[in-house]
Structure 1
Amino acid sequence: MKIFKFFFLSFTFILAFPGVVLFAQKKAQKPNVIFIYADDVGYGDLSCYGATRISTPNLDRLAKEGARFTNAHASSATCTPSRYALMTGEYPWRRKGTGVLPGDASLIIPTDRLTLPSLFQNAGYKTGAVGKWHLGLGKTNKQINWNKPVSTGPNEVGFDYAFYFPATSDRVPTVFMENHEVVGLDPDDPIEVDYAKKIGNEPTGAEHPELLKLPASPNHGHNNTIVNGIGRIGFMKGGKQARWTDEEIGLVFLNKAESFIEENKANPFFLYFSLNDIHVPRMPSTQFKGKSGMGLRGDVILQMDWTVGEILKKLDDLKLTEHTLIIFSSDNGPVLDDGYADKAVELAKGHKPAGSLRGGKYSAFEGGTRVPFLARWPRVIKAGTETDALVCQIDMLSSFAALLQQKLSFEDAPDSFNQIDAFLAKPVKGRESLVLQGGTLALKKGNWKYIEPSDGIAYMPLTGTETGNDKKPQLYDLGKDLGEKSNVAAQNRNKVKLMQEELDKIREAGRSRY
């Protein structure tokens, strides 16, 4: 009788509260995780962050169905260091050689350290990387032979599958790689790459500007070997059959990302989907060309948003939506003129890529590192949440370790802290403090932002960027002055002293678990 009563009550509960039971089942499982990492997208580039001249409905959908973060940061104001921090949980300025890399650089991620993808592997996930890499390939100080399998790369730091290009789309070699090999390489047309001197007889942008379909901006260095009518940084010969067509890059990456999701729909998976669209040279596919009214940069924002929408559709079609945590963010703030004369500056009238923030890519001001950050996980993250918790991409490693119940050693992810409650948009304040890397180092603590003195240039004329460098200390009360217009260091000398001491302590400790 007692057994019958137990089953009767259980059955009644299931009928009355099916959502609770489903949620309990889902919570007990490991969520799929998709991290969409856009390139050079600013805090003001999306309509869900206030943009009015351009509409990003698919990203707006993520914000509506999940959470929108207003105080989220990349670790750095440029791409390679931000990606290094994301993968390793270590401040990139602690390690030499983590600046913006050439296309033939060696892998800068240690292969004997825990990384974000290897954490997921340890938790039983299938891991995939699709898109821009820009963290180096091959062994340290060894010249890469592009015509043979490159033995050290994404696979060796935790990715079961990788489809990517080596660096950036404005750098040679302009080829895709799948795991260890160049895709479509003709062995009778071997690739050679050189960043110091011209090789081969192919025309360069400097010698033949009349051949360029996208002119290079003066003095940016985008005038070396011409590929697909675009001058690149660096010189390349051979590999003609393997070279990409810029207008197709986004579609190729989307196809590979969708295939990875499809192939792993029955397993928990982690997909690092690194979008290239907004990075120069901006070459939208035909369906988006001329559609934004803001020139090529606006067109590729539309393309990026559409790509996100296609990923959302794929999850819906495979019935994976409710069991997938999807995160969207950017590797640094925005830049308009970054090497090609595509009229991005002129055509951006009325659009503020960094929103109300000062600075942008390359800058220690907020516009350099404060980036869009959206997260959706149905039934876990409350739809329509807005949070001002201080979070950083460097904390994803420790946070997912907590979520997946993976132990970290003291040596693992030394500057990464468990902020999983903040990433799931719970009502918490996030980090106590955060060091950010732009033109110089800055420390955020509460509403205060301190930028330490630097002898570097204060303004980059090539990109029109305020770097944040100043020989005097800078202190801003972001609660009252988010645009960092008023330096109040002189009126708060004790606060400056305390924040410089804390920054020195973090720097000198060699790890921030102090």
Structure 2
Amino acid sequence: MKHDFYVYFLIAFCICNLTSATESDPPNIILVMSDDQGWGDLGCYGSRLIQTPHLDRMAAEGTRFTNCYSGSAVCAPTRCVLMTGLHSGHCTRRDNRPSVGKGPYYKRPLVPLKPEDITVATVLKKAGYVTGGFGKWGLGDFDTTGAPAKHGFDEFYGYLDQVHAHNYYTDRLWDTDQYVALPENKGKSKAVWSHDLIMERALHFVEKNQNQRFFLYLPVTLPHGKYEMPSLAPYEDRAWTKNEKTHAAMVTRLDKDMGELFALLKKLNLDKNTIVFFTGDNGPNKPLLARMKSAGPFKGTKRSLNEGGIRCPMIVRWPDHVPAGRVSEFAWSHTDILATISDLAAVQDIPDTDGVSVVPTLMGKKQKPLEYIYWEFHNPFHQAIRKDHWKGIRFGLKEPVKLYDLSNDPEETRDLAAQHPELARKLADLLDGARTVSPHWPGQDTQ
């Protein structure tokens, strides 16, 4: 019996030490975000038309979330929410363009991050991570307060301006502190596809930093328009529109790139010490609904706070930590990314945000539901809130709230406000108090 006691004690001691070692050795962190890819564009989320074997494998080897939400219904505010952990009623950039006034951004009325905005990269750089971003930034040009180098990134390669990112055959890309020319694309030439360059640099970043902790932020431009790419394989012979073929080919190409990323992590023996997040920035465009079913079963598209505009894919993989093959219905959003990543990195002084760490959920543990998830969008102005399985949405500050039970009506077809007036009033009160007035986005009454 005494021998058995010591054996059990030794096993328990080793388990405790393993847990402590895991907590004291934070992982490398990779955050990949697609652009205008719908919830239903991946095989593991139900697509029957688009081939995504590598992301499907990622879901089989990690956890797939069915109730994760983007920060907004368009790209720039989503990036702001994702980076700062402030929801779209508090963050600096609440829409692609301001409702009032102008911002000093490329001589267009756009608003950059403020100097005091704290980003995921700021937090991780302070914690000793080397930080790199590759793809579409969208939160400030090089001569504004929102440049990536001013917000924690050691290296950034790609597009600073979101509209510039529509051009896959651009003649220049931003490289950390300067624009670099792509003379092959001068004039109307289409010799170099920018996504190839962006992925090449992202993979090189991993390889050159394999011996230190790194944060790789990869907000790729695929599958956003313009719908142009070198090859439409494997869909060139399908009886679809050209845009449908290109959208599908872009998603499959991104899937292939994810396979190359995982292969590199395994080659460098980084696989088990790297957590990888894959998500999307907002819902799809309307033309992709009929055949492609890009929004899955949901109503709404990009620019809408209905589920189809904000419900996004989220797959998380970290071998031996995040449960494999798990599907979670836990509801969370990009607002929670900064708090979650800070927790993973064992950051002690986490800045105040609107988010909550969902690390317990990622590790397969029980976690109480979030108090609520909030969004606002300004073209046209409307607000939405999710509390438990209830969803409230209203247009204007005085309009009545429409109420949906997402557990029984995820398509948002039956307004239950009349049947549950007290709950509708409670959500209206939360909507009233969730936001602060922004000089660029004051909020509007639709009446």
Q: CA deviation at 1:33?
A: 0.4
Structure 1 Cα separation of the partners of residues 201 and 361 of structure 2: 31
Matching of residue 182 in structure 1 with residue 162 in structure 2: no
In the alignment, what sits opposite 2:241? none
Quick check: 1:504 aligned with 2:432? yes
Alignment of 1:203-242 (within 5 A): 240=186
Aligned with residue 380 of structure 1, among 307, 321, 334: 321
- 1:356 corresponds to: 297
Unaligned runs of 5+ in 2: 98-104, 239-243, 439-447
The answer as to 2:370 corresponding to 1:431 is yes
Counterpart for residue 336 of structure 2: 395
Deviation sequence 1:203-231 (CA, Å, 0-9, x none): xxxxxxxxxxxxxxxxxxxxxxxx97xxx
CA distance in 1, matches of 2:147, 2:314: 27
Distance 1:292 1:485 in 2: 36
Q: CA deviation at 1:492?
A: 1.6
Query: What does 1:95-106 correspond to in 2, within 5 Å?
Result: 95=91, 98-100=94-96
Mean Cα displacement is larger for which, 162-171 or 80-89? 162-171
**CA distance, structure 2, for counterparts of residue 307 and residue 122 of structure 1:** 29
Query: Compared with structure 1, are the counterparts of its residues 375 and 292 closer, same or farther at alpha carbon in structure 2 (3 Å cutoff)?
Result: farther
Per the alignment, do residues 40 and 369 of structure 1 end up closer, same or farther by CA in structure 2, a change over 3 Å counting?
A: same
Q: Which amino acid aligns with 1:502?
A: L
| Distance in 2 (alpha carbons) for counterparts of 1:24 and 1:360 | 44
Deviations along 1:447-498, one digit per CA (max 9) or x if unpaired, are 110002339xxxxxxxxxxxxxx95431101111011011111222111111
Query: Superposition RMSD on alpha carbons, in Å?
Result: 3.2
Cα pair distance change 1:246/1:451, threshold 3 Å? farther
Amino acid at match of 2:175: E
2:39 aligned with 1:35: no
Relative to structure 1, the CA distance from residue 475 to residue 362 in structure 2 (aligned partners, 3 Å threshold; closer, same or farther) is same
Q: 1:39 to 1:152 in 2, by over 3 A?
A: closer
Cα distance, 1:423–1:284 mapped onto 2, change above 3 Å: farther
Candidates 382, 386, 391, aligned match of 1:449: 391
Aligned to 1:270: 215
Instruction: Name whichever of 428-437 and 61-70 sits farther off.
Output: 428-437
Q: Please, which of 259, 265, 268 is the counterpart of residue 318 of structure 1?
A: 268
Alignment partner of 2:205 out of 249, 260, 267: 260
Q: What SS is found at the alignment partner of 1:92?
A: coil
CA deviation after TM superposition for structure 1 residue 65, in Å: 0.4
C-alpha deviation, 1:319, in angstroms: 1.0
Give SS of 1:261's match: helix
Q: Do the aligned residues in 2 keep the contact of 1:58 with 1:309 (CA within 8 Å)? A: yes
Residues 74, 303 of structure 2: 8 Å contact kept: yes
Q: CA deviation at 1:124?
A: 0.7
Q: What's the counterpart of residue 367 of structure 1?
A: 308
Structure 1 contact 72–391 (Cα < 8 Å) conserved: yes
- Who wins on radius of gyration, i.e. which is larger? 1
Task: Output aligned runs, 1:90-169, within 5 Å.
Answer: 90-95=86-91, 98-100=94-96, 108-140=112-144, 153-168=147-162, 169=165
Inter-partner Cα distance in structure 1 for 2:31 and 2:198: 14
The one-letter amino acid paired with 1:426 is K
Query: Measured at CA, do residues 30 and 56 of structure 1 come closer, stay the same or move farther in structure 2, by a change above 3 Å?
Result: same
Q: Distance in 2 between matches of 1:352 and 1:389?
A: 23
Distance 1:308 1:291, change over 3 A: farther
Q: Once the two structures are aligned, what percentage of the paired residues are identical?
A: 29
Whether the 8 Å CA contact 1:42–1:332 is kept in 2: the answer is: yes
417 and 283 in structure 1: CA distance in 2 versus 1, 3 angstrom threshold: same
1:1-20 map, 5 Å? none
Structure 1 residue runs of 5 or longer lacking an equivalent are 141-150, 187-226, 229-239, 338-343, 456-469
The Cα of 1:424 is off from its aligned counterpart by 3.7
Give 3-state SS (helix, strand or coil) of 1:176's partner.
Answer: strand
1:276 counterpart SS class: coil
Aligned to 2:64: 68
Q: TM-score, normalised by structure 2?
A: 0.83
Which amino acid letter does the alignment assign opposite residue 326 of structure 2? T
Deviates more, 1:281-290 or 1:302-311: 281-290
The DSSP-based 3-state class of the residue aligned with 1:315 is helix
CA distance in structure 2 between the aligned counterparts of 1:330 and 1:354, rounded to whole angstroms: 12
TM-superposition CA deviations, 1:343-382 (whole Å, max 9, x none):
x56xx62x31111111011111011111000000111111
Deviation at 1:290, TM superposition (A): 3.5
Judged with a 3 Å threshold, the aligned counterparts in structure 2 of structure 1 residues 98 and 454 are, in CA distance, closer, same or farther, namely closer
Q: Distance in 2 between matches of 1:272 and 1:100?
A: 20
1:59 aligns with 2:55: yes
Q: Which amino acid aligns with 2:340?
A: S
1:279 equivalenced with 2:224 (yes/no): yes
Check whether the contact 1:357–1:367 (CA below 8 A) recurs between aligned residues: yes
Letter in 2 for 1:40: D
Separation of aligned partners in 2, 1:166 and 1:245: 21
Does the 8 Å CA contact 2:129/2:213 hold for their aligned counterparts? yes
1:261 CA drift (Å): 0.0
Partners of 1:96 and 1:156 lie apart in 2 by 15
Residue 473 (structure 1) aligned to one of 401, 409, 412: 401
CA 1:417–1:27: 2 relative to 1, 3 Å: closer
Superposition deviation, residue 108 in structure 1: 1.6
TM-score, normalised via structure 1 length: 0.73
Q: Is the 8 A contact 1:364 1:436 kept in 2?
A: yes
Work out whether residues 153 and 180 of structure 1, in 8 Å CA contact, stay in contact via their aligned partners in 2: no
Name 1:493's counterpart in structure 2: 421
Greater relative contact order structure (CA < 8 Å, 6+ sep)? 2
Report the count of equivalent residues.
414
